[in-house]
Amino acid sequence: MNIFLYVIIFIIGTVFGSFYTLAVYRIPQNIDIVKKHSYCPNCNSKLGFFELIPVLSYILLGGKCKHCKQKIRIRYLLLEVLGGVSFVVLAIALKINISTLTLRSLITYVFAILYFTALVLIAGIDKEHIKIDKRVLAYGIIISILYMIYLYTIDSASIYRYAIYLAIYIILLSVDTFLLRRFAKDSYTTNILMLLNIILIFTEEKMLFATIIMALASILIYVLIRKLEQIKVGSIKLKINEIPTGFFVCASNIILIFVMTVIRNI
């Protein structure tokens, strides 16, 4: 019976995977992510209901637009499948099981999806634009506060821990609003710190620590590769504000969650 549950979760994941691609493209351009109909980027024709079904529509249409026959990049299909796989992994991580399914495990799973969504959107936009989108960050902060309220209803003993997390938000938001804006400074660093606090709330200290180490290591490798490329072509230097730090942080956290899930379930 569990296999049916995982198939359903996989399908839901592919829908989200498709949504993430769209959202990462639209949010920085201020295009509505819900109301505006999906369209072909080549011929601008609106996509019909069947063309919106993830994975299946790609296979049935042979990877081409129904109207203009323009090839749809395989990347979209892969991202949809990845969305499906991720949702299944998250379900396994939280031991979502049809026979032991409780309201509590279901709520935790919904929070896991909301959290995963925040990470993917922050990572995707940062990778393309080297920018932590304020609206996505605000969404992440709000769900992390809701998650703390939910945890408090289960275990009120951790109230001091939650108070510290909240205090970190208040300090960072104050620095961002009163200091940085006043001097028109870039708030990329405070945004990264807020992102780390979101990660801390959802995955706790050890995971945050591992995430930071892994992110720093990947940034180092990334910088080295970019430097080597630049030496080859002799182009201009890589600047610190050209490194998508948020992308590396989010990707590291997602990979670590997935690796831990695989290790625990072997």
> What tokens appear for 25 in the block?
């493209």
Q: Round to whole Å and give the CA distance between 10 and 4.
A: 10
Compute the residue count for the chain.
266
| Residue closer to Zn ion, measured from CB, 69 or 129 | 69
Give residues in contact with Zn ion (CB under 5 A). 40, 42-43, 65, 67-68, 70
Q: Under 8 Å CB-to-CB from 50, ≥6 apart: which residues?
A: 57, 60
Q: How far is the CB of 52 from Zn ion (least distance, A)?
A: 14
Q: Under 8 Å CB-to-CB from 266, ≥6 apart: which residues?
A: none
C-beta atoms surrounding 49 within 10 Å: 7
Bridge-partner residues for 64, per DSSP? 71
Q: How far is the CB of 39 from Zn ion (least distance, A)?
A: 8
| Residue closer to Zn ion, measured from CB, 47 or 93 | 47
Segment (H or E) for 57: helix 56-60
Q: Are 145 and 194 in contact (CB under 8 A)?
A: no
Q: How far is the CB of 45 from Zn ion (least distance, A)?
A: 5
Q: How far is the CB of 42 from Zn ion (least distance, A)?
A: 4
Residue 67, SS3? Answer: coil
| Residue closer to Zn ion, measured from CB, 50 or 209 | 50
Q: How far is the CB of 140 from Zn ion (least distance, A)?
A: 34
| Residue closer to Zn ion, measured from CB, 51 or 126 | 51
| Residue closer to Zn ion, measured from CB, 72 or 119 | 72
Q: How far is the CB of 23 from Zn ion (least distance, A)?
A: 21
| Residue closer to Zn ion, measured from CB, 48 or 217 | 48
Q: Under 8 Å CB-to-CB from 237, ≥6 apart: which residues?
A: 230
